[in-house]
């Protein structure tokens, strides 16, 4: 393939700007899809698939994940928003609005003739100062009983008081060290079910039922064995049964398996959880012994149960252990019971780590998913607040960051200062959208708040969305987790830089492993 060099710089620049505009429009379309949901007056979005299935939600990451998107730049934004959700569980709408603003402002500057490299240089300088200020501004939470912590749950849970109360109640069952553990997600303790009652309890839920109705439904004084494998004899090659030696080996393995099952019974085990299937012989013997067996339990639920009860997961070969060694792998709990209506099993009061489960009920299947999303957002926000502290909400902290960054513009030489301007303007967008969603003029209110913050030196001022008046956000209980704001800004800048660096869009050729000629 011959490619002719381009000598017309005007045409070349036009093609580069076209690529930027195409990507900018895609990012803007994604931001427009979620910006109407931000703030206390944000509205819901309805998503409909080709089969007519409907999802109505106010959750930014859910909207992004369910959207039918084909543009590569838009997909990049969605991937990074998903990463934000995985890291802190909240703030994807803010990150998306910031990213849309940064890209739009950056493209505007490039269209005026400023080099992309200089714009990116400014974008890299500004966030470092902003994040330093944000970290210094964060105020630690004064314990799980602090009123502001419930406010965080209430705001992230979109005003649902029952969900906020459930999340705060769950904290009482969890050690403080657990909140700081990166592997622990409070949002993962939430289970939403139709027709269930709202509650919090110390224990775990298995979304399974006992293998058969002859097994006990309720057990007190639980001794549990967890098998991360099938409860069956060792695997045996079927072809070997064609020989006398093979048949003898098969019978020996079956006999050994029976003895191992009887050993489990002799140890007083009355609950067996299995990752895969259960051999008919094992089911029959364990049923006769009055033991509850639950098969094909999700690995995640097995791990939670092991943590709760102090059990250790073993493979089927672990059944060969000596009786004296077997006790070390068993876990203990106060009670296990099956709820036949909800088709789930509860394990309560384990001897291991303290684990809470939050049960969220809903009246209809359509509402279950949204209730679960709201509860998970509330839980994620609360955990982020405990880990990283609080900052004023309502867009106040973003406006304060904009003012701080504008003051350091003079430290940047040359055209890179225009990259600083992009960040300053983008930081105003979350506040403007919150105010717009509440029915007020964003330009008017933006001027009022910026002037009030500058005059008083208070970065807690923003607009009360009920009255339209300038109020102190901390005084009226509008606060956000600092970590959420930190990752939102970091994510937005990463997206903007990636998009602005794209110089040309080229369609990839189809992969043909047979014909490699060009």
| pLDDT over 90 at 427, yes or no | yes
Distance CA(174)–CA(301), nearest Å, equals 18
Please give the average per-residue pLDDT across 230-236, as a whole number: 83
| pLDDT over 60 at 202, yes or no | yes
pLDDT, one tens digit per residue, over 251-277 is 888 899 999 999 999 999 999 999 999
- Lowest-pLDDT range, 110-114, 241-245, 331-335? 241-245
pLDDT, one tens digit per residue, over 464-477 is 999 999 999 999 99
| pLDDT over 50 at 518, yes or no | no
Distances (CA, A) of 322 to 18, 171, 229, 317: 72, 40, 19, 12
In this structure, the number of other CB atoms found within 10 A of the CB of residue 307 comes to 17
Q: Quote the pLDDT of residue 362.
A: 85
- Lowest-pLDDT range, 7-11, 336-340, 411-415? 7-11
CATH number, span 200-362:
3.50.7.10
- Given a contact cutoff of 8 angstroms between Cβ atoms, the answer to whether 357 and 191 are in contact is yes
| Residue ranges of the chain that CATH labels 3.50.7.10 | 200-362
Distance CA(338)–CA(218), nearest Å, equals 7
Nearest to 156 by CA among 99, 92, 105: 92
Please give the average per-residue pLDDT across 369-395, as a whole number: 92
| pLDDT over 90 at 205, yes or no | yes
Q: What is the DSSP string of 238-270?
A: GGGGGSHHHHHHHHHHHHHHHHHHHHHHHTT--
Helices (H) and strands (E) in the chain, counts: 18, 14
Please give the average per-residue pLDDT across 450-462, as a whole number: 94
Distances (CA, A) of 167 to 110, 375, 422: 47, 8, 38
Nearest to 135 by CA among 389, 453, 479, 399: 389
- This prediction has a pTM of 0.80
36 secondary structure, DSSP code:
T
What distance lies between CA 349 and its chain's CA centroid?
27
Q: Quote the pLDDT of residue 504.
A: 61
| pLDDT over 70 at 382, yes or no | yes
More confident residue, 366 or 190: 190
Helix (H) or strand (E) holding 80: helix 72-88
Distance CA(487)–CA(494), nearest Å, equals 10
Percent of the chain scoring above 70 in pLDDT: 92
**How large is the greatest C-alpha to C-alpha distance in the chain, in angstroms?**
95
Mean pLDDT, the chain, whole residue set? 86
Pairing of strands 344-350, 331-339: antiparallel
Distance CA(488)–CA(79), nearest Å, equals 13
Reported CATH class of domain 9-139+390-500: mainly alpha
Q: Quote the pLDDT of residue 517.
A: 47
| Residue ranges of the chain that CATH labels 1.10.560.10 | 9-139+390-500
């Amino acid at each position: 393939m011959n490619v002719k060099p381009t000598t017309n710089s005007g045409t070349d620049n036009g093609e580069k700007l076209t690529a930027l505009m195409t990507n900018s429009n895609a990012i803007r379309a994604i931001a427009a899809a979620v910006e109407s949901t931000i703030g206390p007056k944000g509205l819901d979005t309805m998503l409909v698939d080709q089969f007519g299935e409907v999802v109505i939600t106010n959750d930014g990451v859910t909207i992004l994940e369910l959207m039918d998107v084909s543009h590569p730049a838009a997909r990049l934004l969605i991937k990074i928003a998903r990463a934000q959700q995985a890291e802190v569980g909240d703030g994807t709408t803010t990150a998306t609005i910031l990213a849309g603003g940064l890209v739009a402002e950056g493209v505007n500057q490039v269209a005026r003739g400023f080099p992309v490299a200089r714009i990116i240089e400014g974008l890299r300088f500004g966030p470092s100062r902003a994040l330093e200020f944000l970290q210094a501004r964060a105020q630690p939470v004064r314990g799980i009983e602090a009123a502001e912590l419930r406010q965080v749950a209430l705001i992230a849970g979109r005003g649902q008081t029952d969900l906020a109360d459930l999340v705060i109640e769950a904290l009482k069952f969890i050690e403080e060290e657990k909140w700081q553990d990166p592997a622990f997600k409070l949002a993962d303790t939430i289970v939403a079910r139709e027709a269930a009652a709202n509650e919090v309890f110390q224990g775990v839920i298995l979304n399974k039922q006992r293998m058969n109705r002859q097994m006990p439904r309720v057990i007190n004084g639980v001794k549990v064995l967890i098998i991360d494998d099938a409860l069956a004899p060792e695997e045996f090659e079927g072809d070997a049964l064609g020989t006398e030696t093979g048949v003898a080996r098969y019978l020996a393995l079956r006999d050994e398996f029976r003895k191992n099952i009887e050993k489990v019974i002799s140890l007083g085990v009355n609950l067996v959880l299995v990752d895969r299937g259960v051999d008919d012989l094992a089911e029959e013997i364990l049923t006769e012994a009055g033991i509850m067996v639950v098969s094909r339990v999700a690995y995640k639920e097995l791990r939670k149960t092991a943590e709760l009860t102090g059990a250790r997961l073993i493979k089927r070969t672990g059944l060969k252990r000596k009786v004296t060694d077997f006790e070390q792998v068993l876990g203990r709990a106060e009670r296990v019971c099956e709820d036949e209506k909800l088709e789930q099993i509860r394990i309560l009061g384990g001897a291991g780590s303290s684990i809470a489960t939050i049960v969220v009920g809903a009246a209809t299947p359509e509402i279950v998913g949204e209730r679960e999303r709201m509860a998970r957002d509330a839980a994620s926000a609360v955990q982020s607040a405990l880990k990283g502290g609080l900052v004023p909400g309502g867009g106040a902290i973003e406006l304060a960051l904009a003012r701080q960054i504008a003051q350091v513009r003079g430290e940047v030489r040359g055209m890179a200062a225009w990259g600083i301007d992009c960040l300053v303007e983008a930081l105003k967008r979350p506040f403007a959208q919150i105010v717009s969603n509440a029915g007020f003029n964003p330009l008017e209110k933006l001027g009022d708040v910026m002037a009030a913050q500058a005059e008083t030196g208070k970065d807690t001022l923003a607009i009360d969305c009920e009255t339209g008046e300038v109020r102190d956000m901390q005084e009226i209980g509008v606060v956000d987790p600092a970590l959420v704001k930190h990752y939102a800004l970091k994510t937005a800048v990463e997206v903007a830089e990636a998009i602005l660096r794209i110089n040309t869009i080229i369609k990839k050729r189809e992969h043909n492993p047979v014909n490699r000629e060009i």
